[in-house]
Structure 1
């Protein structure tokens, strides 16, 4: 069993559970069987990239979130914050730095 297969499988299961979905739901989205989803979650195999993309798109989540989902850290963010984070990650580095600087200045003002 590959470590990355196990990580992706555990992440998929944790994400699925956090959304109240069953293996049948994921199987229907991916166009596969429940036993296949079970194999993914056990780390015995991985979905094809095409299926993984389909699952992420249908669940409206990024590939990295789905592959490396951590329930503990995700519980700390609202849907709006997660959406902002996804959009922030898409920005060019110069825009990210500008936003960071704006937030630093805003935080300074709050302390006054």
Structure 2
């Protein structure tokens, strides 16, 4: 996961996506429902839309917990075009080389 947040903050789509498997499932937590508009190939499209619409986008890692293959990040997202600030909790299942699965806490 090293470099994932740096790539996000640089709005470097290709470098950011290198950290995920191509068909990454993006799920809600705790329901485990697939976020259909964000999983697999749609993940690239959603990330591109997010980066394009928010040229000042920046995420600050508030805290990180690692338990085996699971990484839980508390994040503070700023630079949204709406001017808002968003607190987020993301969980990642990390494989040998890439992120295999993502959950966002609803």
Same fold (TM over 0.5): no
Q: Which has the higher helix share?
A: 1
- Normalization by structure 2: what TM-score? 0.23
Highest Rg: 1 or 2?
A: 1
- Normalization by structure 1: what TM-score? 0.22
